[in-house]
Structure 1
Amino acid sequence: MRNVTDGPALHRRSFLQYSGAIGAAAVITSTLSACSSGPKSTNETDGDGKGALDSLTAVIGYGNDGSWDPTQTASAFAVAANHHIYEGLLDTDPITRVPYAALGTEIPKDLNSTSWKFTLREGAKFHDGQPVTADDVVFVFDRILDPDTQTLAKGFFESWLREVRKIDGKTVELVLKFPFPDGASRLTLAKIMPKHVFSKPGAWEDAIKGKAIGSGPYRQTAHQPKTNTTFEAFADYNGPRRPNFKKMNWFTIVDAAPRVAKISGASADAQIADNIPYANIEQLKKGGLTVEGGAGMNNLFLLFNTAHDPFGDVRVRQALHYAIDTDKMIEAALKGHGKASTSFLDEGNPSYRPAKTVYGYDPDKAKALLKEAGVSGLKVSLMSVNVSWIVDCLPTIKASWDAIGVETTLEPQETTAVFTKLDQKKDFQIVAAASNPNQLGIDADLIMHYNYGPQNLWMGYARWAGNSEAKRLFTLMDQATREPDPAKKKAMVQDYIDLVAEQAVLYPVVHNELMTAWNPKRITGIRAQPYPGINVLQAKPAAG
């Protein structure tokens, strides 16, 4: 099963280049418009260092070499960048997720209707100068809803959206299968792309590699995988989020030490950085930076290959969760910035309640479950991504599993390497990585469909979609999606999350807080996000 593109196996960099989506980000506030040619190299884009900031230099703690195709990607870097490059019919506030009119001129008045009509913003243009038309909107939604094209976005739309019709050159109609008001905030996940560009042969592969042409406030000017991506203000942008910087240069620095160095000290090159290590918080504060965090769905999860004996046995999966000393992990690796998972959802989610199965630290129970399953002398190779805070957590997992007689070998490696192996259906036992569906949204239905579903990429990795319990879960999820009463829907979601917790095929170990640092003397109005990347669509430079 692929939940990728209709081309070659998707570089699952698109899902978890940042290892699922981690790192605190920031949202910034005000207005200014400008345009100038963007830098073609990794040269800094800062201003003169004295006056108002014309150009923004940022450091992102995740790779920029994942997929940039908006219908596919969950790469932290690309998702954040695409919010600046592209627009949806509606987009959402990065913190509240309240929708606002973007390419569409207004939010439909009746979101309980099964017909939503949108008129496109007059004068909206793509970065190549061509006008945005209804054909472009239909083109993108046809791709998302195409039964023969597996995309990440498909999982967020196909259950409730029947089709998108062109009414005239500037008007489209979304036809829903049933009333689904939550769909309004999801429209930001359907970025409108130019048909005349991306309908050409090979264009989707180019999008994966980094080609990006949208109608948003910033246009991409250069893209160097594993190094940086540059942007400039789009002079013809006439939408609601005017660009505040003439130029932007976003560096990708996965390693913690050089990332911190880039933003610290008197000669710091960058004004903002995400994914700040907990150990550096006080150092950066003493240096005059503001460091704040956001708690949400960010988590370290375990993914089991249920086709690899003995991980098809639920008792083995449960045992390995019960065995982990999460208090030690939170103290040693997360420096107190985390909580042991008590549900798939984080405690701040509006649909949260503790699951019926909570994996408190219980090594005796873990041993008993392994014995009950007839498992002894188990040797585990734990493949993991190399994101810094995940690597910090691995020794606790190894020590915990070794302590119950499970001989554990740690195999941290580049995120791209991990997910290339999964895409190629290579055999594995367990993967440890990070995930944060909050970069896509906060409603529980979306979060659960991101991780679970009959055509879901993760379930393909886990080899679990054909399991009888999986089929029962998918039925319960579909019923909850269709439930019109919000209170009943919430209860149904909470109930099926109990099944997810019990089965522990893909399940969080800890939810952790994400940290962002910025220089308040250069940029202001920042709110820390509980998910990775940065958002500067309402940014304001500090006074010079």
Structure 2
Amino acid sequence: MRARNSILMAAMALALTAGRPALSARAESIVRYGISMADIPLTTGQPDRGAGAYQFTAYTIYDPLVAWEMDVADRPGKLVPGLATEWKVDDTDKTKWRFTLRKGVKFHDGSDFNADAVIWNLDKVLNDKAPQFDKRQSAQVKTRLPSVASYAKIDDSTIEITTKTVDSFFPYQMLWFLVSSPAQYEKLGRDWDKFASQPSGTGPFKLTKLVPRELAELTRNPDYWDKKRLAKVDKMILIPMPEALTRTNALLAGQVDLIETPAPDAVPQLKAAGMKIVDNVTPHVWNYHLSVLPGSPWTDIRLRKALNLAIDRDAVVALMNGLAKPAKGQVDPSSPWFGKPTFELKYDLAAAKKLVEEAGYSKDKPLKTTFIIAQGGTGQMLSLPMNEFLQQSFKEIGIDVDFKVVELETLYTHWRKGAADEMNAGITANNIAYVTSDPLYAIVRFFHSGQVAPVGVNWGGYKNPKVDALIDEAKQTFDPAKQDALLAQAHALIVDDAALVWVVHDTNPHALSPKVKTFVQAQHWFQDLTQIGLE
């Protein structure tokens, strides 16, 4: 802990030095951001450390072909053009999608963005025979692109991607695919480790300094192609601070200008000190993803339902000082995909105990099992306090859960491998919190049997032929109303199966110092750091 604190103090000292006015006509505007990760996410193009990392080293340095609307807070965003100005499915063959690429875009190194660069980047993560293939980047994005069968250049400003089957939700997959500079990779001797410290994308920031586990300095790109998204500050300094109390104290001491996920019990103190707490509706659910493979206790639906009924979700919200919302399923009841499940997620200790007893267990003869969880990290809320609270809740009904506590990226590795992998021997649930912003991320990738890991991230091997049929039909139609109706039916079945243990929905709270005057919190785990300003 002493070494960790020394690292943080060194990082903050560097950040404070950077923040002092320069002897020039105009001092640089610098924002210091305390983030909840233990390290700076991967900077080569596809970030590690989960969906929460995309706001830090993905949508800052790079751009996707299909982007997400992140500059609105009062409604959910939508798909918008990124490096592709349009995309459309072939009317005669709906497995083929054509992307028209934006012309005149340059990478940070001055080289041209074009179809060759897109194909090169697809090979980088999907073709293990390509010389530029990067195993680390591929591991982050391959399961996010499960529908891709093949791809080809049509001309300098057009590419075509063929999907394995008709998939009307395919454009949502392209949100996660970022484009790095092939020219910079060649210039650096085809070395991804060197590229990490000297990356080149097309994004609104350039990475100008990287000190692993200490800081990343992002500098405004004045030549960015989207003039509506030019950064409002000259520099953004990201400082990893995985402990909530450390982040909170750093903000109170003026060592950083904003933080994510403040310590909930310190919110009154933060407000009294003039800090602003910002949160929003966030399509994100904190859950336990259960293994239903042979040998797992969770093949018994009574035990799965018992776990869901043992949780006092209002008490969890209180633990978060109100910065959460009780979950009723994978998505919120306000979602068009919620449907009409018959199993209600509520706190009913007597019913939970009865189900456990029917399954052959009790407090005197408890079921003993192991869950894998993270120490913390973006999206995991207050990982350890929440898990410890739930551990006691489960103990009350005769289920003794032991935790294997790991660093967040290690948890993601276990998650991508799937419950059947030998890496997860003896583990019956994982605790990755899930983005639920679109059909692919809310339903398809977790509950379709064709997405069982390692193909996708149906971690626990859940299979329900009725759910599969509904998802398949939804993917075949391009009518949004029909898609919503089919997904609602699928979600109702998933909740009735108690496929996961759903706890709360995050509100993604941030705390801002009075110096920060502009901040737009989108209703997503994607956030746009260009919107943060001191003006």
Same fold (TM over 0.5): yes
Secondary structure (helix, strand or coil) at the match of 1:311 reads helix
Question: 1:449 corresponds to which letter in structure 2?
Answer: V
Kept in 2: contact 1:69–1:204 (CA 8 A)? no
Aligned to 1:398: 391
1:448 aligns with 2:443: yes
Distance in structure 1 (CA, Å) of the matches to 2:233 and 2:391: 46
Secondary structure (helix, strand or coil) at the match of 1:374 reads coil
The 1:115–1:393 alpha-carbon spacing in structure 2 relative to 1, beyond 3 Å, is closer
1:238 aligns with 2:231: no
The 1:341–1:202 alpha-carbon spacing in structure 2 relative to 1, beyond 3 Å, is farther
The 1:355–1:432 alpha-carbon spacing in structure 2 relative to 1, beyond 3 Å, is same
The 1:75–1:110 alpha-carbon spacing in structure 2 relative to 1, beyond 3 Å, is closer
Q: CA deviation at 1:455?
A: 3.8
2:323 aligned residue (327, 332, 337): 337
1:513 aligns with 2:507: yes
1:389 aligns with 2:387: no
The 1:47–1:173 alpha-carbon spacing in structure 2 relative to 1, beyond 3 Å, is farther
1:103 aligns with 2:78: no
**Structure with more of its chain in helix, by fraction:** 2
Aligned to 1:214: 201
The 1:272–1:180 alpha-carbon spacing in structure 2 relative to 1, beyond 3 Å, is same
1:358 aligns with 2:344: yes
1:258 aligns with 2:246: yes
Question: 1:63 corresponds to which letter in structure 2?
Answer: A
Aligned to 1:281: 267
Aligned to 1:80: 56
Aligned to 2:8: none
Aligned to 2:528: 535
Q: CA deviation at 1:390?
A: 2.4
The C-alpha deviation readout for 1:322-357, integer Å capped at 9, x for no partner, is: 2222232222x1223333221211244343345332
Q: CA deviation at 1:251?
A: 0.4
Kept in 1: contact 2:231–2:531 (CA 8 A)? yes
Aligned to 1:63: 38
Distance in structure 1 (CA, Å) of the matches to 2:403 and 2:83: 47
The 1:196–1:292 alpha-carbon spacing in structure 2 relative to 1, beyond 3 Å, is same
Task: Determine what percentage of the aligned residue pairs are the same residue.
Answer: 19
1:192 aligns with 2:179: yes
TM-score by length of 1: 0.78
The 1:120–1:337 alpha-carbon spacing in structure 2 relative to 1, beyond 3 Å, is closer
Q: CA deviation at 1:83?
A: 0.1
**Number of residue pairs aligned between Structure 1 and Structure 2:** 492
Kept in 1: contact 2:326–2:503 (CA 8 A)? yes
Q: CA deviation at 1:99?
A: 3.6
Secondary structure (helix, strand or coil) at the match of 1:56 reads strand
Q: Which structure's relative contact order is higher, taking Cα pairs within 8 Å and 6+ residues apart?
A: 1
Aligned to 2:5: none
Aligned to 1:139: 120
Distance in structure 2 (CA, Å) of the matches to 1:178 and 1:456: 17
Q: CA deviation at 1:487?
A: 1.8
The 1:322–1:420 alpha-carbon spacing in structure 2 relative to 1, beyond 3 Å, is same
Alignment of 1:20-35 (within 5 A): none
Kept in 2: contact 1:67–1:210 (CA 8 A)? no
Kept in 1: contact 2:324–2:507 (CA 8 A)? yes
Deviates more, 1:477-486 or 1:63-72: 63-72
Q: CA deviation at 1:115?
A: 4.8
2:19 aligned residue (46, 50, 75): 46
The C-alpha deviation readout for 1:256-305, integer Å capped at 9, x for no partner, is: 1110122224xx12222111222222222221222111122333211223
Kept in 1: contact 2:336–2:488 (CA 8 A)? no
The C-alpha deviation readout for 1:166-202, integer Å capped at 9, x for no partner, is: 2333343456788867555553322122234568999
The 1:481–1:153 alpha-carbon spacing in structure 2 relative to 1, beyond 3 Å, is farther
The 1:327–1:291 alpha-carbon spacing in structure 2 relative to 1, beyond 3 Å, is closer
Question: 2:264 corresponds to which letter in structure 1?
Answer: Y
The 1:450–1:262 alpha-carbon spacing in structure 2 relative to 1, beyond 3 Å, is farther
Question: 1:134 corresponds to which letter in structure 2?
Answer: A
Aligned to 2:67: 91
Distance in structure 2 (CA, Å) of the matches to 1:538 and 1:416: 28
Computed over aligned residues only, the root mean square deviation of the Cα atoms, in angstroms, reads 3.8
TM-score by length of 2: 0.79
Aligned to 1:292: 278
Distance in structure 1 (CA, Å) of the matches to 2:51 and 2:382: 17
Aligned to 1:27: none
Distance in structure 2 (CA, Å) of the matches to 1:518 and 1:242: 21
Secondary structure (helix, strand or coil) at the match of 2:507 reads strand
Alignment of 1:343-492 (within 5 A): 343-376=329-362, 377=365, 378-387=367-376, 389-420=382-413, 423=417, 425-431=423-429, 433-437=431-435, 442-453=437-448, 454-457=450-453, 464-465=460-461, 469-470=463-464, 473-492=467-486
Kept in 1: contact 2:98–2:158 (CA 8 A)? no
The C-alpha deviation readout for 1:128-172, integer Å capped at 9, x for no partner, is: 23221210112233556659997554455443x665432333343
Secondary structure (helix, strand or coil) at the match of 2:103 reads coil
The C-alpha deviation readout for 1:466-518, integer Å capped at 9, x for no partner, is: x6x34553443222222222222111111112232233343422223221122
Secondary structure (helix, strand or coil) at the match of 1:446 reads helix
Aligned to 2:519: 526
